[in-house]
Each structure stands twice: as structure tokens, then as C-alpha cells.
Structure 1
Amino acid sequence: MDGDNARGVLLGLACGDALGRPVEFAAASEISAEYGRLDEMVGHGTWNQPAGTITDDTEQALCIARSLVEHQGFDPADVAERFVAWYESDPFDIGRMTMRTLSRLKHGDTWDEAGQHVWEQSREGQNAGNGSVMRCPPLAIPYATDWEHLVEVSRQSSQITHADPRCTYGCAILNLTVAGLLEGTSTPLRDALDYVDASAPDELVAALRPLAQGDTPGSLETSGYVVHSLQTALHDGLGCDSLEEAIVTAVNRGGDTDTIGAIAGAVAGARFGASSLPDRWLRTIGEADELETLAEQLVEVA
């Protein structure tokens, strides 16, 4: 595995998150009217934070990465504890389902109970958000060559807060795709879908299979629904000609810009490597050095 590509996963995720943060929830037309094409880290906007500020996407990915390094493997109970500590720090951006689950964890649910309880109490339309897929790519680095284990830990990492099979298998498919890219396969999404096809929800596979075959869906949605987010982010992450273009394209679509940008950035980061990220972006992200170090340590965990 190339260390530059592993670093690209974490730094690409953070850059997509930070570029999208100030325009989260804005429509593409609103972004265009204010910025033309947004390709610089800007301050204020949604959440009113300085340029280069990361959100819950990268903050939770950091929880997973730090735990993997410290424990030399995936420990879901430890990751859940780190999520709760982060939740108690009063983050400015946190998803509704994540917040409900972490509150249950804080009050005594185990890591594999809380997300299940919240999911069972959530109606369709509010039960399969993108809050677990946005943070899961660090797992793809140490488990890149052990796909059985990668599927297991990816689904468990989702189960902590997002127990819907579209979310748990969404994490598995995303991480298998990233792992394939890290290992240099030519058809990473197709290989990922083939690996989980018999088990994964039909709706998820049906949305992603055309991308794996090189087709563009009729429309790409930018909502927080996990199927939409994965379809759009994988389209840009796998299809654009550079890492910067993938992130900029994803963010300028509007909608859930930080998360779709983060997923596209992780995927394209695995393709192109951290060295192809613009220095002007990395200089604004305070966590860049730690993310780079963690990525190198995750390669060693493997």
C-alpha cells in the first residue's frame, strides 16, 4: 500500500468536509451566486466558523483513527466511548440520529444497543442518514487486504449510531471500494458490490451498480439520505480527473456539502494520494498534521 494514498484518504476526507462546511444546506444556485465556483476554503457561512474548520465528519473519523492506532485494531466499545466524549464537548454540528444515539450511550446503552434502539424508533425517511458512512474510511487502511474483517468492522462502526442495513452495508461498500483503490484494483466499486451483493439491501446495490458499470444515473441527489450521498460522492470520487476536481465538484452540487465532499474526498484521496491536494487547502486545516501521522500509523497497524 502506498503511504501517500493512505494519507490521501484521511486528508481528502478532511478537505472535502472543510470546503463544504460553509455552504452546507445551500443549493447549487446559491453557492454559484455567492462564490462562482467554490474552490477555496472560506470562513463564516453555515455554522459561522473560520476557513478550514472541520465538522462532525472528520471529528468522528479522528475518533475511529485514534482508537485503531491506540488499540492496534477496531474496538467498537472504545470508539463508542470516544464518540460520547466528543458529543460531551458540545460540537457545533451533529446529526440528529447520532445525537439521539450518543445520548443513549451516555446513559448506559452498550455500543451495539443504542443505535439499534434509535433505528427501531425512527420512521422511514429519518432512519438511514449518512452519519456513519462519512466517518468510516479510516477502517479501510488497516483492513485493506482482509475483506471479510473489513466488512465486519465497517458494519459494526455504523451500528454504533446507524443500524439500518443501508447504512451498515453502505459503510462496507464504501470501505471495500477505498480498500480496492489502495490496493490498485481497476474496478474497485464493482469488486465491492460483487463481494457484498447477496447480503446488501437491494436499494443500495441498485443505486450503485450503474456507477460500477460506468453509467451516470439520470440525476444525482445531494440529500443526507445514505443512498443518495454514496451514489453522488462515489460518482465524483471515482469519476473526476483529479482529487481537487472531485472535491470541488461534489461540494458545488449543494445540499449536504460537507458530507458528500468528505466521502468524495476520501475516495479520490485513495485514488490520487495526499500529494495531489492543494497546499492552500491543507494550510487552513489545523488537524492536517495529526491526520497525516494517523494515516501513516494505520498503515503500520495493517
Structure 2
Amino acid sequence: MQHQITGAFLGIAIGDALGVPVEFKTRSYLSENSVTGMIGYGSWNQPPGTFSDDASLSFCTAESLALGYNIDHLANTFLQWYQHGYWGAHDQVFDIGNTTRLALQRIATGTSPLLAGGFEEFENGNGSLMRMMPLAFYLAAEKDINTRYQLVKEISGITHLHFRSVLACFIYVEYLRNLLTTSSDPRKAYEQIQSAVNNFVRNRQFNPTEIKHFERILQNDISAISEELILSSGYVIHTLESALWCLLTTDSYSSCVLKAVNLGGDTDTTAAVAGAAAGLHYRETGIPAQWASEVAKATAIRQLSERFGAAISTASPQ
């Protein structure tokens, strides 16, 4: 499993860093000015290899889960990032979503992490989806799908508590977990989670109006959707759809993350979510060595992946 963990950790940071300089650029602009490698400055005036909140909060999640599941500790680790730049590429915060910012401000003033997250329909950005990857490894040995859902709900809910955000996170975690434990083939893993999640949703009798938002992922084949219909905004469902689409329509780590970046829009998060999945699948050996050397904190990321891997190999979810 360690090769997949290291691949996913480097994969999310590199995807994030590839997208940071062109965040908010349109698809039409990027079709004529395609990103083909690590560049710098641009949208956020950050040097090449700089990852943003996507990877930073994923690494905070991994740091906390390595000590066992404790929602208060996890939320406080997020606060360390927000207030002090912990796990920032350059030890500072330059990008944070409104829903995440407001939730962390609530936690800082005493609100329970179980109650802090945004729960309005307009608060369904991708700010919890982007940091879910470590949970897939943490839950690898957890057989009970209800337990897995509950942990996803609580961890997403630190910042994003609306059902739509929670279910998007759950689908993503289930998909990564399947890639890790059930099928190494992305297509088969996708078909398996379609079946499993649809059964779970029926058994739990979730609101069908909400479930309909996931129709292209759960009922159709997201990889068969044409590119012009794949949206890459900061909306959680768009990010989940586009990340899955990029992985399922490419055959290498580099082609997956570059496809994600060049969709435009929320480039860093789309490429981070896709890059975590691609890094897990293709492992560290499938990631271009130059990118792995250019990304900020590359050594620290590898060290964290090894600490995290060692911790979860000797512990079971609580």
C-alpha cells in the first residue's frame, strides 16, 4: 500500500501545483495556451511547484489521522493551517474558500467541529472533497459501509455539512478505496462503486431529489460524457465529475492531471482531486520524476506519506 500512498500524496500536490498558476483561466484560453508542465506565478503570483489549500488540508488530514481519528484534533490541525500556514507550500495561506474560512472561524471561537460546516445549498463548493484522499487509505480495512459513510460525513462536515457535499466525498472515498482494495482497474472500480453506492443510497432512503444531482456519476457512465459537457467550476459535483472523467479517459498520471488543468476554471482543485486518484493508481513510479522534484516540500511529503502508511498499517479505524 505504501507505493500507492506516496503516489497519491505526491499526486495531489503536483496536480494542485500544476493548476495554481492558471486558476480561473477559461477552457478556450487554455486550449490555445495549454499547460504542459510546471510553471509559476500567473493567477496567484506563486513560484513554480506551489500547491494550495487542496494539498495542504489533505496533508493536515493525514497528519491527524496518523494519530487515530479525533475530530477535534483534526479540526485544530486545519486551524493551524489557516492561522499559521501549517503544511502550506511556503508556510502561508494564499487561497481559501469562503465556506471553509467561515467554518474554521466558527471552530476558532468555540463551535464544535461536528456543527461548524456550511449546510446551505449554496455552500456546496469542493472544499471538503479536495482533502478526502487520506481517508480512503485510513478506511481501507473498514468493512462496514455505514461506518465509512459516518466518518466521511463527520470529516466533510468540519467545513461542508450539506448532504450533497457529504455524498460527493463519500463517492470519491469509496472509489479510491476500491482502487486500493478491490480492483486496480479504474473502469472496474468505477462500475463497482456505482453498484455499491446505489445500493447504499436505496437502503438509507436518502432524499431522491438530492440523489438526482449524482445521476451522471451513479446512473450513467461519466467517462462517456463529451468534454464540452464536463464542467470544471468549484461546485462539488462538477469537481467530482471532472476528476473521475479525467482519470477514466486517460492512461497515465501526466495525461490525467494535464487534462484536468486544461479544462480551465477551478484548475488546481480539479487537478488535485484527479491527481490524488491518478497518483494512487499509477503509484510514485508513474509520476514524472521532474515534477516530483519540482513540487514544494517534496521530501516532507514523502516523509509524511511514510509516517501515515506506517501508522495506518498498525491501527484499525476507531
Q: TM-score, normalised by structure 2?
A: 0.86
Task: Please tell me the root mean square deviation across aligned C-alpha atoms, in Å.
Answer: 1.9
1:22 aligns with 21
1:175 aligns with 173
Q: Within 5 Å, give how 1:176-191 maps onto structure 2.
A: 176-185=174-183, 186=185, 187-191=188-192
Q: 1:247 aligns with which of 246, 253, 257?
A: 257
1:58 aligns with 55
Answering whether residue 93 of structure 2 is matched by residue 96 of structure 1, we say no
- Decide whether the 8 Å contact of 2:58 with 2:132 is kept in 1: yes
How many residues are matched?
291
The amino acid of 1:41's aligned partner reads: M
- Aligned mates of 1:259, 1:111 — CA distance in 2: 23
CA displacement 1:135-185 (0-9 Å, x = unmatched): 110111121231534332222110000001111111111011111111251
The amino acid of 2:196's aligned partner reads: Y
- Aligned mates of 2:307, 2:194 — CA distance in 1: 28
- Decide whether the 8 Å contact of 2:79 with 2:108 is kept in 1: yes
1:86 aligns with 81
For residue 163 of structure 1, give the secondary structure of its aligned residue in structure 2.
coil
Between 194-203 and 38-47, report the one with greater CA deviation.
194-203
Using the TM superposition, give the Cα deviation of residue 111 of structure 1 relative to its aligned residue in structure 2, in angstroms: 0.5
5+ unaligned residues in a row in structure 2: which ranges? 85-91, 314-318
Q: Within 5 Å, give how 1:1-302 maps onto structure 2.
A: 1=1, 3-33=2-32, 36-69=33-66, 71=67, 73-89=68-84, 91-115=93-117, 118-119=118-119, 122=120, 124=121, 126-147=122-143, 148=145, 149-185=147-183, 186=185, 187-197=188-198, 198=201, 199=204, 201-209=210-218, 212=221, 215-216=224-225, 219-300=229-310, 301-302=312-313
* Runs of 4 or more consecutive aligned structure 1 residues displaced over 4 Å after TM superposition: 210-214
For residue 140 of structure 2, give the secondary structure of its aligned residue in structure 1.
coil
- Decide whether the 8 Å contact of 1:237 with 1:268 is kept in 2: yes
Using the TM superposition, give the Cα deviation of residue 202 of structure 1 relative to its aligned residue in structure 2, in angstroms: 1.0
- Decide whether the 8 Å contact of 2:222 with 2:241 is kept in 1: no
The amino acid of 1:105's aligned partner reads: I
- Decide whether the 8 Å contact of 2:130 with 2:272 is kept in 1: yes
- Aligned mates of 2:223, 2:245 — CA distance in 1: 9
5+ unaligned residues in a row in structure 1: which ranges? none
Using the TM superposition, give the Cα deviation of residue 196 of structure 1 relative to its aligned residue in structure 2, in angstroms: 2.9
Using the TM superposition, give the Cα deviation of residue 99 of structure 1 relative to its aligned residue in structure 2, in angstroms: 0.5
- Decide whether the 8 Å contact of 1:176 with 1:188 is kept in 2: no
2:316 aligns with none
The amino acid of 1:206's aligned partner reads: E
Using the TM superposition, give the Cα deviation of residue 215 of structure 1 relative to its aligned residue in structure 2, in angstroms: 2.7
